[in-house]
Amino acid sequence: MSDKKQNSPLPHILAILLTLTSTVFLFLVVLYNVPLSSSDRSNLSGRMWLLTVKPATSSTFSSSKGGDSYGFGIWGWCSWSDGGDGDCTNDSFWKITSSTEDVGSLGLPQSIAQSMSTAAFLLTFNLVTGIFLLCDLLYTIHFHSHAQPRIIAPLKLLPPKKIKMRTWHAQLLRNLWACCLAVVSLLAWSLPVIVIVGVGAGDVDGSWRGKIGLGWIL
């Protein structure tokens, strides 16, 4: 009879649930902003925008063109009026200048107008990382061993020949250096857009009010 035992599954199941939740939310942030279909213009105000811009005064509200509110995401931007579907511009790695139709007059700071889309695209790497982590957790849910893998151990990016693939994945999930590397990578891909939107939202032209979008609430 094998003396291997199944460690308590509760922490592992909790990790799966937390990773699944964060991955689903990140999936919405990455994909649920600018509609991918040209025929879908519904619920624009409720999408996962990284930045929204609205008129600061009623006079601006009455003179705005193309919509009363604007939302900016990874794949472009949309404008909409209360009770209307609005218009969208699909443009990966977009940049906005003063001559850009509809949104050029919003007075967006240079950091947002020129860099936000590129910085936000890095969030897709976080999504891929989250999916891989979730797959790893699911793959190792039935991992059996004499004891838990060591937390502090040499980091092996390739599985040794004498170690089973499931065991190697379990070791990576427990390895302190692998976890630190993952955290640093996630922060490196997230911080640029967090700083750009967080700081730039308050620097929108005075006749418009910028604020972080619904995507950050998730």
Average pLDDT on 207-213 reads 82
For the chain, what is the mean pLDDT?
Answer: 80
Would you place residue 127 in the very low, low, confident or very high pLDDT band (cuts 50, 70, 90)?
very high
Residue 21 pLDDT grade (very low, low, confident, very high; cuts 50, 70, 90) = very high
List CB contacts of 54: < 8 A, sequence separation 6 or more: 68, 69, 70, 208, 209, 211
Q: Which two tokens stand for residue 55?
A: 């008129």
Q: How confident is the model at residue 102 (pLDDT cuts 50, 70, 90)?
A: confident
Q: Is it the case that residue 2 has pLDDT exceeding 50?
A: no
pTM over 0.95: no
Q: Residue 197: CB partners within 8 Å, gap ≥ 6?
A: 50, 51, 112, 116, 212, 216
CA distance 48 to 92: 16
In degrees to the nearest 10, what's the CA dihedral of 48, 53, 59, 64?
-80
CB atoms within 10 A of CB 58: 8
